[in-house]
A and B are shown apart, each in its own frame.
Chain A
């Protein structure tokens, strides 16, 4: 049995290093500078996630990096209770630019996390890799 949890304790989570590819390197280089980039297609105008070279909607290669707002709302989440480092929340955030992205919700107590909650990006250090985007209450 796990220890009873202190009420309204904000969640934290140690994060492993992400696998960085040639295509995602600009994203993680910017993340190291605290900038949140997304990709948008100049041919169809759509933003997509995760970022890639060829637009997943119209298949043009005219995709470009742009600075994202880093703002969005919780689409869904689940608090993982079976964790040696304490409970953590995984979920999707719907970015203001449109796409949904998988993330962790940190600095929020499980009881305060709700679908529709406004959140903003925060870069979290990883174990031996570049920082990665997580989301915290806006």
Chain B
């Protein structure tokens, strides 16, 4: 594949300001975006990909997507290479367009070094006049309220229980399944098998989530290698082929909030569509499991069961390998095995690769595992997050 002739630069706008004592950096990003979109004859709703670097305030691309009300973004990139970032972004945007991942990419830059704005890439910093912040635009309305992962996921669980009658016992089955898998993993942080009763009687951390609804906190790491088909054929390891991949942010969009679903409602169908398979075809699923509720919401959003039916779906061991219909997180997952540096994404890919290679522990290896899904969410389902879905197949 080449980008030659596959992508066009159709909008361009240079903000007229050279000294902005009266505008925030977030505002300059939005005004620049508006200028480029108007120049192209497009609207914010046409944008399905957003690219920014370290000068964009807040949490990766998420804060600016939220601030600008970009409700149709399904592709993101925050590659940071200093002043050349935006050329890199155009290159990456062209690749994404050539691959059919998006059709309208917005790239923005803005900052206020003359007025004490934050230095790109620095956490805070700068010397804004009158003690004003030029950081994440949402911070003054959010970080004061003591949000943590525990209580913001707790808010999702509380609303899910209210709307769909989901119970703590149903959530507990997710931990029970993970613990059944972790007992066979010699490296698992928690190897003991737990019961539903033990989960729901463990200490309450953030209602309605108990201690055993939470993942482990571990040091560690991981890495993966992605290659071309040619390199794959030259190597000796079993071939794990990518069939589909998609991503999406989920933000608050001016306060129009629905905490009962995650970004998987967008990334899931796109990844399945690209792969040409359905949830019913999946033999093994790695599902991000920062908390039990995380798993339940993503299973619904990915289409493994109907919205609101997640509680019934996960109950009675349905996620246990060799017992239920959808073996998940057979390494013990973040809930029992490993959640290195509070980021469970890479371990989700790694266990899916083990399953497809037939190299999972024999006690949890799924028979004839030729199709697997790995899905992750980052940030908080209760505030703003990015979701990503991978569908992989064993070849040969």
Q: Assess whether A137 is interfacial by the CB under 8 Å rule.
A: no
Closest to A98 in B: B255
Q: From residue B199, how far is it (CB to closest CB) to chain A in Å? A: 16
**CB of A21 closer than 8 Å to a CB of B:** yes
Number of interface residues of A (CB under 8 A): 52
From residue B198, how far is it (CB to closest CB) to chain A in Å? Answer: 17
The total number of A-B Cβ pairs within 8 Å is 170
Does B167 interact with chain A (Cβ within 8 Å)? no
Query: Shortest beta-carbon distance, A50 to chain B, in Å?
Result: 4
**Contact mask for chain B residues 238-264; partner A; CB cutoff 8 A; 1 contact, 0 none:** 000000000000001111110100000
A6 at the interface (CB under 8 A from B): no
Chain A: residues with CB nearer than 8 A to chain B?
1, 13, 15-25, 28, 46-57, 59, 75-83, 88, 90-92, 95, 98-104, 110, 115, 126, 132
Please, which residue of chain B has its CB at the minimum distance from the CB of A134? B145
Please tell me if B277 contacts chain A, counting CB pairs below 8 Å.
no
* Contact assessment for A59 and B69 in the assembled complex, using a CB-CB cutoff below 8 Å: yes
Do A19 and B135 contact each other (CB < 8 Å), given the known contacts A24-B141, A101-B255? yes
Bound: A87/B342 CA distance, A? 24
Q: How many residues of B contact A (CB 8 A)?
A: 57
Q: Does B369 contact A (CB under 8 A)?
A: no
What distance in Å separates the Cβ of A103 from its nearest Cβ neighbour in chain B? 6
Is B231 engaged at the interface, CB distance under 8 Å to the other chain?
no
B140 pairs with A99, CB closer than 8 A = no
Compute how far the CA of A102 lies from the CA of B383 in the bound complex, rounded to whole angstroms. 9
Q: B147 touches which one: A51, A83, A102 (CB < 8 A)? A: A102
Query: What separation, in Å, do the CA atoms of A74 and B61 have in the docked complex?
Result: 29
B259 & A99 in contact (Cβ 8 Å cutoff): no
Residues on A with C-beta less than 8 A from B145 are 15, 90, 102-104
Q: Which residue of chain B lies nearest to A81 when distances are taken between CB atoms in the complex? A: B204
Instruction: Give Cα A90–Cα B144 distance, bound, in whole angstroms.
Output: 10
Residues in B with CB closer than 8 Å to A24 are 137, 140-141
